[in-house]
Amino acid sequence: MQDTALKWAWRRFVISAVLTVLLLYISLAPLLGWLPGGGLPAAVHPVGGPIYFALAQLVLFAAIAGLSARVLVEGARKIIARRPGWYSLLTVGVAAAALYSLVSVIWVLIGDSGAAYHLYFNGAGAALVLILLGESLEARMEQKSGLAIAKLAGAEQTFTVLRDGRERQMYALELQAKDSVIVWSGERIPADAVVLEGECAVDESALTGASLPVDKKPGDAVYAPSLCINTRLVIRVDKVGEDTKLAEYIRLADQAKAAPAAPGNGTQTDKEDKLQGESVWIGIADALSFWFVLIFAAASVVAGIAAIIITRGNFAFGLRVLALVLISALPCAMGIAAPAAILTGMGRGGEKGFIIRNAAVPETARRVDVVALDKTGTITEGTPVVTDVVPIPGGDPAALLALAASALRSSGHPFARAVVGRARQKKLVPKEAERHVIHPGGGAEANIGSRLYHAGTRSLLAEKKIIIPQQLDLEAYRLENEGKMPLFLAEDGKPLGVLAIADAIKASSAQAVKKLITMGLDVVMLTGDDSKVAATVAAKVGISEVMAELTPEQKAEYVKRLQAQGKVVAMIGNAANDAPAIAQADIGVAIDASAPATHYAEIAITSPDPLTLPAALSFARATIRNIKQNLWIAFAFGVICAAFASGLASLTGGPLLSPALLVAGILLCAGGVLVNSVRLAVR
């Protein structure tokens, strides 16, 4: 559908551009003497064939106007509704040029060949073709952002299915209830299911927001699109398609998208309209154009009456001045004022790590006053790391870490990988274990030299009847209260210390939050994770307001309450459980491109760096400023042309607004708009 719209937009523009070039050549070549004899056959030359000269321009302009009919009809509709806007201003200018030129054509047909030099079809045609160029650029922009989003979402994965005693490769959409599916390490679980075989750590952060993996064993439930981390599982499909928990979240997001916005927040009433609706630049231009329509209409009447008085009753000259002032209302460069700025901004945004879905986003993003952040994967890395190494009194932290890495080296559990990874960062070399036993959900035991080591949870040590000293136990409880997972290490039944595992905070998260606050924005954390974990992370990055242990529905409801208070809310998340809140928010931002969340987001952040968020919001503000500057450049063109059209220039010996002068003004104005837009690229 988007490809069809883009092709039609460009086809209209190309055809109109070719017709406009021909129109400009026919109308201006003989007037400016660019080529010997005007470069035109005598039959269509204003001297030898004024009738065909005039009719050729009329026919070419009619074709261009036909291709631009939607814009002109919309402008007329708004005038009739007494809500004149940008399209209305364009329609007034085009109509004035067309009617004035049509009268001149009639005079040519009657026999007044001099009227052939007063045709303004060229200026009106040039204005319309620039409008079509702007629409084409905008269609191209939306297609580029859509392709980028689709690329980020990734291709659909196939899974190994055991059906009728055979292994088959099938897509998730082809699965049926009671199918047995093999899910390998690193694969996402394709449906809601029950574990039949295997024990595995599963990352459920996409659904629950929990920062740490959950151990699963036979009989446990697993949900799409959770990630199987360390070993393979065989699962029995329980629910597929619309019955899964993921589908439930998507339904919630769809409901939030379609629900009317809260009164008072100044947003559109339908999120789908915001994603696909009328461009923001039209809204800005409408606000300005309402007054300019009135100003140009009043100025044309005043100028016409003044011209009649000054020329002592020359009504023909007065009517000409009146028409020319209306023609000068042609805001030609307004058609590319915003698309040029936004297309430039899109290219620059891609370099900075974010994609804007459409032209309506910058204006809404500019008005955001509350930023709601998910925790897991947004503020934090979403992967476990070792945060603390606490030996017993007199113990060596480095030795404790090295021994724990040695005991856990053969385990594929993410906690074990975190310990081994931290040891390698410290340039510690784990020892080889002669014997290694995995205790699923508990930890591991290993024989290293003549010693027996147990590394794992409190429950593992209790199972092995290893008593934890009170001081070490208190340290473990302190770590738990900070939202961390304690892992103990014991040597020959005697605890040596405890290590803490937690989801690492991204290096730039605190700086990003500080920048958002500096921009005058309120920042709140919305997470489904444990309240202790959330409070600890929030304190470290500088967020004072925290809402934890929220379901996806509660996240969306919290955003709705903020909107009911008149707030404009941006919601930033990276997973399916964030989709309802992202859909509800005025500006949804998907970080690191999770497919379900990205579908409902207006901005997709391609970089996991949190600093990209304040950069995107800041860039939206700069883009709107650039658009407004471009619009004022376009209106300034109208004012300058109006000075010539009103006869002010002719009073000091200058010309009236001639067809050549009108076209020159249009081209200069378009050039000024493009040059101003390019400034965004070097920001």
Q: What does the pLDDT look like over 525-579, one tens digit per residue?
A: 998 888 888 888 999 999 999 999 888 889 999 999 999 999 999 999 877 778 8
C-alpha to C-alpha distance for 352 and 354, rounded to whole angstroms = 6
Please report which confidence band the pLDDT of residue 646 belongs to, taking 50, 70 and 90 as the band edges: low
C-alpha to C-alpha distance for 45 and 30, rounded to whole angstroms = 7
Distance, C-alpha 285 to centroid of its chain: 22
pLDDT at 276 over 50: no
Amino acid at residue number 252: L
pLDDT at 337 over 70: no
pLDDT at 252: 64
- Does residue 41 have a cis peptide bond before it, meaning omega lies within 30 degrees of 0? no
C-alpha to C-alpha distance for 328 and 97, rounded to whole angstroms = 9
Average pLDDT over residues 44-60: 84
pLDDT at 1: 45
pLDDT at 5 over 70: no
- Which residue ranges does the chain devote to CATH 3.40.1110.10? 381-505
| CA nearest neighbour of 205 among 378, 382, 352 | 382
The residue whose two tokens read 């958002």 is 516
- Whether the Cβ atoms of residue 331 and residue 93 lie closer than 8 Å to each other: yes
Structure tokens at 675: 């040059």
The tens digit of pLDDT for each residue in 61-75 reads 999 999 888 878 887
Active-site option among 192, 203, 286, 374? 374
Class level of CATH domain 381-505 = alpha beta
Please report which confidence band the pLDDT of residue 282 belongs to, taking 50, 70 and 90 as the band edges: low
pLDDT at 346 over 70: no
Structure tokens at 69: 């009919």
State the alpha helices, DSSP H only, in 112-258.
121-153, 205-208, 245-258
pLDDT at 275: 40
pLDDT at 87 over 80: no
pLDDT at 155: 40
Fold of 344-380+506-619: Rossmann fold (3.40.50)
Please report which confidence band the pLDDT of residue 153 belongs to, taking 50, 70 and 90 as the band edges: very low
Size of the chain, expressed as the number of residues it contains: 683
Average pLDDT over residues 314-343: 67
pLDDT at 571: 94
The tens digit of pLDDT for each residue in 436-454 reads 888 877 788 999 988 999 9
The tens digit of pLDDT for each residue in 210-250 reads 667 888 889 999 888 788 877 778 999 888 877 777 777 66
Residue 588 is inside which H or E element, if any? strand 587-591
Query: What does the mean pLDDT of the chain come to?
Result: 78
Query: How would DSSP label each residue in 261-279?
Result: PPTTS---S-HHHHHHSS-
Q: Please say if 388 is a catalytic residue.
A: no
pLDDT at 34 over 70: no
The tens digit of pLDDT for each residue in 356-365 reads 776 678 878 8
pLDDT at 404: 92
Residue 183 is inside which H or E element, if any? strand 180-183
Residue 486 is inside which H or E element, if any? strand 485-491
- Which residue ranges does the chain devote to CATH 3.40.50.1000? 344-380+506-619
- Whether the Cβ atoms of residue 4 and residue 143 lie closer than 8 Å to each other: no
Least confident window among 154-163, 434-443, 455-464: 154-163
- Whether the Cβ atoms of residue 339 and residue 134 lie closer than 8 Å to each other: yes
pLDDT at 154: 39
pLDDT at 47: 73
Average pLDDT over residues 42-48: 71
The tens digit of pLDDT for each residue in 163-205 reads 877 888 887 777 888 888 888 877 888 888 999 988 888 887 7
Residue 636, C-beta contacts closer than 8 angstroms, at least 6 positions apart? 669
| CA nearest neighbour of 57 among 119, 12, 8 | 119
The tens digit of pLDDT for each residue in 96-118 reads 888 888 988 998 898 888 888 87
pLDDT at 662: 66
pLDDT at 630 over 60: yes
pLDDT at 85: 61
pLDDT at 569: 94
- Whether the Cβ atoms of residue 568 and residue 266 lie closer than 8 Å to each other: yes
